[in-house]
Copies of this chain bind each other. A is one copy, B any other.
């Protein structure tokens, strides 16, 4: 039986208070999404989790029977996007990206694997999208994965290196992380289902 570190419960409580009382000051997009996942889960809206970072474990020490300590491990390349889950029977799958660029999102924020994964999920009728934070502009968007794939394929064909901000403004869903959930991705999903975004 492995003993896990304790205190997670308290940490979560503090994080929720932070989000409620002080807004999202200095909070990473990942943290904002994790809090939003918790919010949706708590209120029975959707079940979405971040996948753990894939790690190749090489060496584990057992100082005592109940406690394992990993002493050598390496990061592995993720074969999928970071987030997936279920909402009213719909499969959701998304990736989050932050950029310091002011007028475009560089395509090298994505791995080939992630693009192929989004393609595969769309073929199986999953709802796939990306959540992008333009840090310097303080602007936040969701964009259907179909558009990311389209621009990615232009990269191979004609060397395109980015998705322009205008595409996010014209085709995406802009949100302001001012209320809970900070990242209201279910609003985007509802619009996508109702074909208000495509």
The chain A residues found within 8 Å of chain B, CB to CB, are 2, 4-5, 41, 44, 46-47, 49, 51-57, 68-80, 84-91, 93, 117, 120-121, 123-126
Indicate if the CB atoms of B125 and A89 lie closer than 8 Å. Answer: yes
Indicate if the CB atoms of B123 and A49 lie closer than 8 Å. Answer: no
The smallest beta-carbon distance between A110 and chain B, in angstroms, is 14
Indicate if the CB atoms of B84 and A120 lie closer than 8 Å. Answer: no
| A2–B126 alpha-carbon span in the complex (Å) | 30
Complex: chain B residue closest to A125, CB-CB: B89
In the complex where A68-B75, A73-B70, A75-B70 touch, is A125 in contact with B47 (Cβ < 8 A)? no
| A125–B71 alpha-carbon span in the complex (Å) | 41
Indicate if the CB atoms of B117 and A47 lie closer than 8 Å. Answer: yes
Indicate if the CB atoms of A55 and B56 lie closer than 8 Å. Answer: no
Q: Which of B53, B72, B88 is in CB contact (< 8 Å) with A55?
A: B53
Indicate if the CB atoms of B86 and A47 lie closer than 8 Å. Answer: no
In the complex where A68-B74, A77-B4 touch, is A124 in contact with B86 (Cβ < 8 A)? yes
Q: Write 6 A-B pairs (CB below 8 A) sorted by A numbering.
A: A47-B124, A52-B52, A69-B73, A70-B70, A70-B74, A90-B91
The smallest beta-carbon distance between A183 and chain B, in angstroms, is 18
Which of A52, A71, A74, A124 has the most chain B CB within a 10 Å cutoff? Answer: A124
| A88–B124 alpha-carbon span in the complex (Å) | 5
The smallest beta-carbon distance between A68 and chain B, in angstroms, is 6
Please indicate the chain B residues that have their CB under 8 angstroms from the CB of A124 in the complex: 46-47, 85-89
Indicate if the CB atoms of B70 and A55 lie closer than 8 Å. Answer: yes
Q: Which of B57, B72, B126 is in CB contact (< 8 Å) with A53?
A: B57
The smallest beta-carbon distance between A55 and chain B, in angstroms, is 5
Indicate if the CB atoms of B76 and A126 lie closer than 8 Å. Answer: no
